A and B are shown apart, each in its own frame.
Chain A
Amino acid sequence: MSNMLLEGRELHTYYGASHILHGIDFHIRQGEGIALMGRNGMGKSTLIKSMLGIVRPKHGRVLVRGDDYTKATTYRTAQQGIAYVPEGRGIFKSLTVRENLLMSARAGVDGQRNWTFDRVMETFPRLGERINNGGWQLSGGEQQMLTIGRALMTNPDLLILDEATEGLAPLIAMEIWRIVKEIRKTGIATVIVDKNHGAVTSICDRAMILVKGEVVFDGSSDEIRANPDLIQKHLGVGH
């Protein structure tokens, strides 16, 4: 497939002796949006980290645009237009807001610079107000805006958001969803992990559900929303 962006094939990942991913197949095409779902500890973050080379799968392959990146360093995979906003956000606390954005700036894989410093400022006006603040002075919502803005400064083709709104106040979370929708409209492919199933399935056209390191559902978001049982069975709390 020529428009295939990122693929994981038969991924098995371990943390020490514990087997986290049990042969997961994952793929995302240009412009696609995937809601990556599953309860805590089912392997969502591990899947993302395995494909980015942050943790190394024991078996399986990772392909970026059809090329083998299984053993590639994280920075080489990222340079292929893959931007990652980790759980817990990972802003650089000793850098100012401006510096967090400038340090990551680069052209996209095809040389485009659609996302400039100014455009990020327009998208996140709140960051503009705090431009010279240190990273440690930001609220949770501002930190999340900063990490998304920083990821956009790399002009990615794929944006991966792990726990996009975790720990944010509802109003701030709504603001994040509004921005993510805007980003989706520009044609950037997205993988989103979030507890708000309604929000992620409305933003993403496809959904995947992981249970104990295996894919139990891979289909359209509409199908998920039409089947409350599916959500209750695999994602519901209280089991």
Chain B
Amino acid sequence: MDFATFLIQTLNSLQYGLLLFLVASGLTLVFGIMGIINLAHGSFYMIGAYMAFVLSSATGSLVWAIVLGIPLALIFGAFLEWALFSRLYKRDHLEQVLLTYGLILVFEQLRSLLVDNDVHGVDIPAFLGASIQLTDVLSYPVYRLAISAVCIVLAVALYFVIQRTRLGMMIRAGNDDRTMVEALGININMIYRVVFALGVALAALAGMLAAPISSVFPNMGGQVLIISFVIVVIGGIGSVWGALVAALIVGFADTFGKVLLPEISGMVVYLVMAAVLLWRPEGILKKG
């Protein structure tokens, strides 16, 4: 592998890993803090991608689609938490799996009715359409760099909110002892709603950002869901930083696996997961 190829694969790994982090961070928070196994989390990624398609067709730009899509996703997430997920906190995991699996079917059917079952492309915004020439034949698209940049900004913002704000302290405290948070006069249900809505918005944003690269197609949330659960398990349930580290590991393992070990590329990520679990059964970073 020459240096230019290595550089491109490294950038691809970062971009893919960071994008997965957006999906997995919400999944791990909802799993860790509220104890909910949300199989429908991948659907939010799919919904984001379709929002990017529909809204960018309507407004003429992916940027506008994202500007409109994020508040829509937040509202949608808060509504779902209020209407359905708030009823699941005291139920066991089987009931959670039943409801959230049902939601996948509902969301896919709605997608089929409201849009269609075709594969669609989404245009990259014109100002990000360029490529950086690395060698005579190899170049790297600016849009992919932009995705990584947006994800890094969001990861830093998420770090700030969780580590430095009172809301973040309450979220982490809720992870430790829900009843005690309530006994201090804090409305934990409102905190759950905020966290859930945030998780939905991050997953939807990941879908919107990915739409121009991966295109938009039915059941696209399924693959992302499975890989996100792998990240949650590797990183340690409930740990956002664990999810970041794990997402980058998965991004590199998957990308370089495809290049270096094409025969077993589908397995590489799972081999990594197995290795990490043998080494640290509770994930890289348990909590924090």
Contact = CB atoms under 8 A, between A and B. Distances in A.
Do A and B pair up? The answer is yes
Interface of A: 52, 54, 73-75, 78-79, 83-84, 86, 90, 92-95, 99-100, 102-104, 106, 135, 150-151, 154
A78 B172 contact: no
Contact of B287 (A94, A102, A104): A94
A78 B185 CA distance: 5
A84 B179 CA distance: 11
Contacts of B183: 52, 54, 74-75, 78, 84, 86, 90
A102 B185 contact: no
B288 interface: yes
Contacts of B179: 54, 74, 90
Interface of B: 166, 169-170, 172-173, 175-177, 179-180, 182-189, 287-288
B171 to A, nearest CB: 10
A94 B187 contact: no
Contact of B176 (A52, A73, A95, A102): A95
A97 to B, nearest CB: 12
Given A78-B183, A84-B183, A154-B184, 20 more contacts: A73-B182, A73-B187, A75-B182, A75-B186, A75-B188, A90-B177, A90-B180, A92-B169, A92-B173, A92-B177, A93-B176, A94-B288, A99-B169, A99-B172, A100-B173, A102-B166, A103-B166, A103-B186, A135-B176, A150-B184
A92 B178 CA distance: 10
A73 B168 CA distance: 22
A95 B177 CA distance: 11
B136 to A, nearest CB: 52
B168 to A, nearest CB: 9
Contact of A94 (B175, B185, B188): B175
Of A83, A93, A151, the most chain B CB neighbours within 10 A belong to A93
Contacts of B175: 94
Contacts of A90: 177, 179-180, 183
Given A73-B182, A75-B182, A103 B187 contact: no
Contacts of A106: 185
Given A94-B287, A95-B172, A99-B169, A104 B177 contact: no
